[in-house]
Chain A
Amino acid sequence: MKNIKHLALGLVMALGLATGAQASTGGIAWDKAPGKTTDMASLQNGAKIFVNYCLNCHSAAFMRYNRLTDIGLTEKQIKDNLLFTTEKVGETMKAAIDPKQAKEWFGANPPDLTVIARSRAGAGGTGADYLYTYMRTFYRDDAKATGWNNLAFPNVAMPHVLWQLQGERKPVFEEKEEHGHAVKTFKGWEQLSAGTMTPLQYDQTVGDLVNYLQWMGEPAQNTRVRVGVWVLLFLGLFTFLTWRLNAAYWKDIK
C-alpha cells in the first residue's frame, strides 16, 4: 500500500514537472481581452474597424455581410457603410488585395480571419486574449522590411495597420542576470510619435475589434448560450420526472 502511494505520488510529481516543462512559445504573456460578445455597440464599432482596416489585406471567406444583422445592423446600413469589396450583402467578406500581390509584398499570405479568434487560443489564454495583445504590441523596428515588429508575434510579416491611431512606439527592456544568462524583460513602452487616439481610446478600439473577431469566429455563440439555458432547464425538469418514474417502478423490487 505504501509503495503504491509512493508510486502515485511520483506520478503526480512527474505530471507537475511535465506541465512546467511545457513552456509557451515565443512572445510575451497575453493580456485579458474584454470579451463581451453581447455588447452590440462594441461589436458594431469592431465591425467598422474590421471592414475599414483588416479587409484590405485579409479575407473572412466564410462570413457573409448580411450576418451582421445579428449584431443589430440593418441590410441598408451594411450596404451603405460596409460594402467595399462586393456588391451584394449575401456575399462573403473578400479581401481587397489580390492574394498573389500580398504574398509578394509581405512574404506571406495574410491568413483568413473568419475563425482566427478560435484558432489562436492556447495555454496563454483565449484567442481573443492573443489578438488583443497582438494588436497592442506593434513597435518600430528598422531591422524589419516593413519597419514594424511585434512582441506577441516576434518577426511577424504584418505591418502595424492601426499605427496612425496608436502612434509609433518602442519597447523598453531591462537586462538581468538569471541563471548565468542575460535575460531581457519587457519593462514598458516609449512613445516615439503620438497617434490620433489616447492609449485608453486605442485599447478600447482594439477591444471592440477583437470582440468582433471573437463574435465572427462563431456568430451563433450567443444563440447557443441562450438556447442552452432553456435546454438545461427542460432537462432538469425531465430528470426530476424520470427520477420519480424510476422510483415508482423500483419500489416493487424487494
Chain B
Amino acid sequence: MAEFKEISPNASAGAKLTNWFENRFPTAFYEYKKHMSEYYAPKNFNFWYVFGALAMLVLVIQIVTGIFLVMHYKPDAALAFGSVEYIMRDVPWGWLIRYMHSTGASAFFVVVYLHMFRGLMYGSYRKPRELVWLFGCAIFLALMAEAFMGYLLPWGQMSYWGAQVIVNLFSAIPFIGPDLALLIRGDFVVGDATLNRFFSFHVIAVPLVLLGLVVAHLLALHDVGSNNPDGIEIKDNKGPDGIPLDGIPFHPYYTVHDIFMVSVFLMVFSAIIFFAPEVGGYFLEYNNFIPADPFQTPLHIAPVWYFTPFYSMLRAVTSEMMYALIACVLGGALLGVLKGKMSTLFKGIILAGAVVVVAMMLSIDAKFWGVVAMGGGVVILFFLPWLDNSPVKSIRYRPDWHKYMLAVFVIDFLVLGYLGMLPPSDIGGRVSQLGTLFYFGFFLLMPWWSTLGASKPVPDRVTFAAH
C-alpha cells in the first residue's frame, strides 16, 4: 500500500485530480509504469516484432465486431444462414461488421503465424522465456478451437461438412472415440444441438480462456523482459540507475512505432474488406454461400486455409505411411539406445516402449494416427524450448545452414498448407507425406541438429543503427 500523498492547495486542477486517483487507486498507476512507461524493451526491435501488437489489435477487432454480430445472429439451424444474410443486407453497416469479423479470423492467423515465426527465428522461446512460449502455444490452440467453432455458425455447406469431418475424426480414437464425438456434437449428426454448443463456446467459453491466456502471456513476458533480434539479454548490461543500457521505455517509443505499423496493417486489412472480402474463396469459401444441407455432401471438403497444413498431415498418414512411421519409431529407439548415455534399465525402458508403440501402430487404424499427427503437429510446438540445444538463440549468430533449415521448414509448412486445400491426389499425397516427415523431423531431430556447426560470436550489446 502506497503512502497517502498530500498535494499543495496551489497545484493545478489536473494535478489535483491525478493525485486524488493515485491515492485511491495506486495499482493503476503502478501497473501503467510497469507495463508501459517503465517497461524497458530492447531498442533493436525490427519489423518482425510488430505482430504481437497486431494480434492484440485483431483480438480486439474480433471481440468488438463479434459483440455486434451476436446482436443479430440466430444460433438456430433453421435461422442461422438467413440471419447472416440479414446482417449482410438489412442491418445498417452489418456487411462491414461481418466482413471485419470474417477477414479478422484469417488476419488473426496471418499475424499469429508471423509472430510464431519471429519466435523461431530469434529463439524467443528459450530460457528464461519458456513459459511465455507455452502460454503462446496455448493461445494458438485456443485460437484454432475458436476459429473452428466460429466457422460452423454461418451454417453454410462448408461450415456443416467441415464440422462433420473434423468431429468425426474424434471418433477414430480407440474406445472413447464414438462417445466423445457424440458428446461434441450433442447429436448423432451435426445439427441444431451442435450449432448451439459451438455458439456458446465461440462467444463465451473460448474467448474467456483466450483473454486469460493473453494476460498470462504478457505478464510472463514483462516479468522476464523481451528477447530481441540479437538474442542477447539486455538485462545483463544495466546502467547505474538499474535500467538496461539497450532498453527504452515501451511507451512512448514502441507505442508510436506500433501505431504506425497498425495503420499500415489497417490499410491491408481494409483493402481486403472493401475490395476483395472473399479473397478468391480463401477467406470466405464459395460453397459456404449454400445453406447447410445434411443430405448433400460437397464434392470436395476443404478446411479454411489456416488449418490446411495440419489437415495435410492428417491426410498424409495412410496405412502405407504407417510403415515409414514405424521405421522411424524403431530407428529412433535404436539410435537412442546406441548413442544415448544412460543406464541399461533406461535403455530397456526405451526399447520396450518402442515395441509397445509399434504394436499399437500396427493394431490401431491409420485414421487414428492421422488424427495423432494432426494434433501432434500443434502439440510438438509446446516442446520447442527443450528441443533446441543451440548455444546461441538468434538465427543471426547460428551457422548459416540453420537459416536454410528454417527456410525449408517455412516452405514445407506452406506446401503442406497448399496441398491441404486441394482434393487428394497421388503426387500431392506423396509430397505431403514427405512434408509431414520433414515437419516432425525438424522438431524431433532438433536436439541433435541444433548443436551441429560453428555458431558466430555473439556481441555483448545489441546491434542498432539510429534511424
Contacts and interface: CB of A to CB of B under 8 A. Distances in A.
A19 B423 CA distance: 10
Given A11-B431, A15-B418, A118 B289 contact: yes
Interface residues on A, range: 35 or more
Contacts of B425: 18, 21-22
A245 B256 contact: yes
B286 A246 contact: no
Interface of B: 43, 82, 85-86, 88-90, 95-96, 99, 248, 252-253, 256-257, 259-260, 262-264, 266-267, 270-271, 273-275, 277-278, 281, 286-291, 299, 401, 404, 407-408, 411-412, 415, 418-419, 422-423, 425-428, 430-431, 435, 464, 466-467
B286 A238 contact: no
Interface string A210-245: 000000011110001101110110011011001101
A183 interface: no
Nearest to B467: A250
B404 A1 contact: yes
Contact of A236 (B267, B422, B423): B267
Given A119-B289, A242-B263, A253 B271 contact: no
A217 B85 CA distance: 9
A126 B226 CA distance: 47
A120 B298 CA distance: 13
Given A235-B263, A253-B467, A225 B286 contact: no
A30 interface: no
Most buried by A among B82, B248, B256: B256
Contact of A239 (B264, B407, B422, B423): B264
B260 A242 contact: yes
B251 to A, nearest CB: 10
A4 B408 contact: yes
B408 A251 contact: no
A146 B391 CA distance: 76
Nearest to A17: B427
23 contacts: A1-B401, A14-B427, A14-B428, A17-B427, A18-B422, A21-B426, A22-B422, A22-B425, A62-B82, A62-B86, A67-B89, A114-B85, A119-B288, A218-B88, A220-B89, A224-B96, A224-B274, A227-B96, A228-B271, A229-B274, A238-B263, A239-B267, A250-B467
Nearest to B84: A62
Q: Looking at chain B's contact residues, is the secondary structure mostly helix, strand, loop, or mixed?
A: helix
Contacts of A239: 260, 263-264, 267
Contact of A242 (B259, B274, B415, B464): B259
B129 to A, nearest CB: 24
A15 to B, nearest CB: 6
Contact of A245 (B260, B288, B428): B260
A18 B267 contact: no
Given A119-B286, A245-B259, 10 more contacts: A18-B422, A21-B427, A118-B286, A119-B288, A121-B278, A225-B274, A228-B270, A231-B274, A232-B267, A249-B256
A115 interface: yes
Contacts of B86: 62
Given A22-B425, A63-B89, A119-B289, A253 B281 contact: no
Most buried by B among A18, A225, A246: A18
Nearest to A23: B423
Interface of A: 1, 4, 7-8, 11, 14-15, 17-19, 21-22, 25, 61-64, 67, 111-112, 114-115, 118-122, 127, 217-220, 224-225, 227-229, 231-232, 235-236, 238-239, 242-243, 245-247, 249-251, 253-254
B274 A249 contact: no
Contacts of A249: 252-253, 256
Contacts of A225: 274-275
Q: Looking at chain A's contact residues, is the secondary structure mostly helix, strand, loop, or mixed?
A: helix
Contacts of B275: 225, 228
B411 A8 contact: yes
B95 A232 contact: no
Nearest to A227: B274
Q: Rank and list the top 10 A-B pairs by shortest CB-CB distance, nearest first.
A: A228-B274, A119-B289, A62-B85, A242-B260, A18-B428, A14-B431, A118-B289, A239-B263, A246-B260, A115-B289
A224 B107 CA distance: 19
Contact of B467 (A67, A112, A247): A247
Contacts of B260: 239, 242-243, 245-246
A7 B85 CA distance: 46
Contacts of A118: 278, 286, 289
A224 B262 CA distance: 22
Nearest to A254: B466
A144 B23 CA distance: 86
Contacts of B266: 235
B466 A115 contact: no
A246 B418 contact: no
A173 B147 CA distance: 48
Contact of A11 (B259, B288, B415): B415
B107 to A, nearest CB: 15
A229 B270 CA distance: 10
A234 to B, nearest CB: 9
Given A18-B425, A67-B89, A220 B256 contact: no
B467 A121 contact: no
A231 B290 contact: no
Contacts of A232: 267, 270-271, 274
A18 to B, nearest CB: 4
A64 B431 CA distance: 49
A122 B43 CA distance: 48
A215 to B, nearest CB: 12
A127 B99 CA distance: 19
